[in-house]
Amino acid sequence: MVAQHSPRVGILIGSSSDREVMDGAVAVLKKLDIPCEMLVRSAHRTPEQTRAYVESARQRGIGVLIAAAGMAAHLAGAVAAHTTLPVIGVPIASGPLQGQDALLATVQMPAGIPVATVAIDGAKNAAYLAAQILAVSDADIAARLAAERAERAEAILAEPTVQG
Ligand code: RP5
């Protein structure tokens, strides 16, 4: 039995230096009222603890995993290797190549082990995509997503038209 407020989305970051960017994902999920948790787990520095977290995720009620890392970004791929839960990868703009390296490392997965890769530093879209995945079987989340989109469209249409 999974408690009502137990996390539905697990966010792994490769380093505490990724936290600032990924706070954007936490904020989106909070706005959509989707419980989540974010923790530092590295593919290279804590491989066993990363695996243990991923393997226990489903039974803890987590439906989607987000993995964010920079440079030689193997975290999302390593996470995907240990679960059939959907995994969303966020390449982080860190190091001299500013995320170009992480983007390629995250997106180029072998067949059968997918990682849904968002843009470099795409923390917010990772959260929206996680919400949309959960919304497939959760009508309340689907309704909140639809309302948020309508709100966003209204705000755009309320912008003034400037006559030249
Ligand atoms: C990656 O290397 C992390 O995800 C981070 O983006 C980058 C730098 O990590 P630190 O050296 O700041 O811990 O593994």
Please report, in tens digits, the pLDDT of each residue of the chain (164 residues total): 566 689 999 999 999 999 999 999 999 999 999 999 999 999 999 999 999 999 999 999 999 999 999 999 999 999 999 999 999 999 999 999 999 999 999 999 999 999 999 999 999 999 999 999 999 999 999 999 999 999 999 999 999 999 99
Quote the number of domains for the chain.
Answer: 1
Question: Which residue's C-alpha comes closest to atom 11 of ligand 1?
Answer: 15
Residues 126, 68: contact at Cβ < 8 Å?
Answer: yes
CA separation for the pair 131, 139 (Å, rounded): 11
Ligand 1 atom 9: residue of nearest CA: 15
DSSP tag of 119: -
CA 154 / ligand 1 centre spacing (Å): 39
* Residue identifier of the C-alpha nearest atom 13 of ligand 1: 15
- Its domain, for residue 76, covers 9-157
Q: Is residue 101 part of a domain?
A: yes
Domain assignment of residue 97, yes or no: yes
Structure confidence at residue 5 (pLDDT): 81
Query: Please, what is the end-to-end C-alpha distance for the chain in angstroms?
Result: 62
Tell me the CA–centroid distance for residue 85 and ligand 1, in Å: 24
Q: Is residue 163 part of a domain?
A: no
Inside any domain, residue 37:
yes
What local confidence, expressed as pLDDT, does residue 72 receive?
A: 97
Residue carrying the six token digits 């539905």: 8
> Is residue 4 in some structural domain?
no
| Ligand 1 environment, Cβ below 6 A | 14-15, 17-18, 42, 69-71, 92, 94
Is 2 within a domain?
no
Q: Quote the pLDDT of residue 2.
A: 63
For residues 156 and 82, what is the distance between their CA atoms, to the nearest angstrom?
Answer: 42
Residue 110: φ, ψ to 5°: -70, 155
Q: Is residue 36, in this structure, part of any structural domain at all?
A: yes
Q: What is the CATH number of the domain that holds 138?
A: 3.40.50.1970
Cα 109 to ligand 1 centre (Å): 20
Is 1 domain-assigned?
no
Beta bridge pairs of residue 73: none
> What is the pLDDT, as a whole number, of residue 10?
98
